[in-house]
Chains A and B, each alone.
Chain A
Amino acid sequence: MRPRRTPWFSYLLVVAGAIAMTIPFLDMVMTSFKGPGEAGELPYKFLPDRFHFGNYLAAMEQLNMGLLFRNSIIMTAVAVTSVLVTSSMAGYALAKLRFPGRPVVFRFVLATMMFPPFLFLIPDFLILTNWPLVGGNDFLGRGGEGGLTTSVAALFIPFVVSGFGIFLMRQFIVTIPDEMIEAARIDGAGEFTIWRHIILPQTTPVLITLGLLTFVGTWNEYVWSLLISTVNPDLMTLPVGIQLLQSYLDPNQTLPLVMAGLVISIAPVLTIFLLMQKYYIRGVMISGLK
């Protein structure tokens, strides 16, 4: 049994840290309740003079919430599912399967994380605009009205595979004992079955983690979504829509509105995060090999 004494020092550390973590978030929430002009005031005021709930109504009114949520949800759901599947499969291959060129592929996957995003904007846009056989394009991808950039697929396509995810899964799958996999192979299981029935259950906490991180990253993605939404306004996502609430002439006046929009946008993310907490249980090894 682990020692039952209350870990006072740990509590102290964690609580102190938690306060530091929470303050900017609380500032965001407080700002969302401030009136026009209050946001930029000096000296800094944490609480608004009164709670302007109207900001939330105004944000919801000005934003086409249905459309924004729809697009964000589609983009994120597809990206998360795809990343989880591709990362766990590729991670398994890199961790447990032997094949020629494995170190090269591993380093290649790492290298995909080492390029700045701005380099990809134009090429990705060009690729989607000229995707063959879609949106009026011919076989060589020319002539149409924008190819894939006008379809909702444009939102998630660049995000369906993640080097970060593959690397993460690989690191965790490596810790699964070979004996477990061997036993399954001896029993006649194919690699796909092993993946489904051994790898996935054994890596549940890290899958949840990867899912959550991908969720947040895609939900809050701005640069690419902005580009697609200017080509087809029906594809606008939450972050893009919310940012447009910001007035060019008078940022301090609209800052509370923007913050209200952001809080609305974050609420689902935090809810999912809280719900997923119960999956962070200590892994129990089935076969007692460890």
Chain B
Amino acid sequence: MATVLHDERKSPRGGPDRRAGFARSGMAKARRREAVVAYAFLSPTLAFFAIFLILPLVFAFVLAFSNWGGFDLTQIEFVGLDNFAEILNPASSFVAPILVNTLLFAFGSVVLTFVASIVLANAINRLRFQGLWRTLYFLPIVTTVTAVGNIWKYLYEPSGGLINGLLNALGMPSVRFLADPDTALPSVVVVQAWASLGVAILILTAGLKNIPETYYEAAALDGAGVLRTFWNITLPLLRPALLFVLITQVIAGLQSFALIIVMTGGGPGNATNVAGFEMYQQAFNYGLWGIASAMALVLFLIIFAITLLQLWLFRQRGEETS
């Protein structure tokens, strides 16, 4: 990804204007050496994925087209596209509301986290005792999800919870946050956003620290105010970190369900049921591994498509991301 001052195309290596010409054969050899080194650097990673990713994925792929109860490998039974037909059937609950909930859950929490983390990471960066603030924002990451879920359940409680206490004090009636199918999902989205803030802030902080002081000094000399500095210096230089946060949080959001188990169990009805949870239930509780794997594949395709879209969108703005 190109930084503001530095244009990759002008670098001595591999720029199109340098390609043609007398250095061609040397170029090719250097290229090959670079490729060999690159794959050498990648070899532990690729070896690991070959064993611990590819094999399980083949297994999952086979299962998606089979029936399997989960206890005995010899009982895998081929059924072709039946599983997909069943889950993509409009009558089943997978597409709606489960997938819909999944998308809402992920995007809702990511938008909240994204905005809040940018603001907060910057705010912390300008204060003293940064280590302390960062540690406090880190706490939700180390707090067990049971504790987080329980506390928020108390906060949301209709008779005696803090939030309803405030609403009542302001003259409004209590809202049955987690029990009302219309408010249950948004309520959980808020908690998910809250829980994801710490990681986002950490990464954006690292990104902010990456920006040399000299830029800010130059901007200050030019008389730029806080917002202009932020818009013209900070944001562009933060792009790779921002893209990272966005992509990883969306991926995580689309798969996450630990909070939902603790807070609502997927209910009421299917109001807070998301794909990750449903898949787990289908596999372990119902013993329907074929359906679970088919759901996993569908979800994977959705996640992959969304991620490619994000990469492409960021590329559109003239940034090379791949």
Interface positions of A (Cβ within 8 A of B) = 1-3, 7, 9-11, 13-14, 17-18, 20-25, 27-28, 31, 42-44, 86, 89-90, 92-94, 97-100, 102-103, 105-116, 118-120, 122-124, 127, 157-158, 160-161, 164, 166-168, 171-172, 174-175, 177-179, 182, 191, 195, 205-206, 208-209, 212-213, 216, 220, 259, 262, 266, 269-270, 273-274, 277-278, 280-285, 290
Decide yes or no whether B231 CB sits under 8 A from chain A.
no
Chain B, Cβ-Cβ closest to A194: B37
- Report how far A266 CA is from B122 CA in the complex, Å: 27
Chain A, Cβ-Cβ closest to B300: A114
Decide yes or no whether B14 CB sits under 8 A from chain A.
yes
- Report how far A93 CA is from B138 CA in the complex, Å: 30
The CB with the most chain A CB atoms within 10 A, among B11, B209, B220, is that of: B209
27 contacts between A and B (CB under 8 A): A2-B220, A9-B123, A10-B124, A20-B194, A21-B197, A24-B148, A42-B160, A89-B41, A92-B41, A114-B255, A118-B280, A118-B284, A119-B59, A119-B296, A120-B56, A123-B60, A127-B55, A167-B247, A172-B241, A175-B237, A178-B6, A178-B13, A273-B135, A277-B135, A282-B209, A282-B211, A290-B5
Do A89 and B243 form a contact, CB below 8 Å, given A21-B137, A127-B52? no
Decide yes or no whether B207 CB sits under 8 A from chain A.
yes
B residues 264-303 in Cβ contact with A at 8 Å = 276, 279-280, 283-284, 292-293, 296, 299-300, 303
Decide yes or no whether B44 CB sits under 8 A from chain A.
yes
Q: Which residues of B contact A177 (CB under 8 A)?
A: 3, 6
Do A123 and B59 form a contact, CB below 8 Å, given A14-B124, A21-B137, A171-B244? yes
Do A24 and B127 form a contact, CB below 8 Å, given A103-B322, A205-B210, A212-B202? no
Query: Would you call the interface of chain B mostly helix, strand, loop, or mixed?
Result: helix
Query: Is A178 a contact partner of B8 (Cβ separation < 8 A)?
Result: yes
Count, chain B residues at interface, CB 8 A: 104
Decide yes or no whether B147 CB sits under 8 A from chain A.
yes
Do A7 and B212 form a contact, CB below 8 Å, given A25-B140, A273-B135? no
Q: Which residues of A contact B283 (CB under 8 A)?
A: 118
Do A43 and B160 form a contact, CB below 8 Å, given A24-B148, A171-B243, A285-B212? yes
3 nearest A-B residue pairs (beta carbon): A277-B131, A123-B56, A10-B123
| Contact code string B288-322 (vs A, CB < 8 Å = 1, else 0) | 00001100100110011001100000000000001
Q: Distance (Å) between the CB of B192 and the closest chain A CB? A: 13
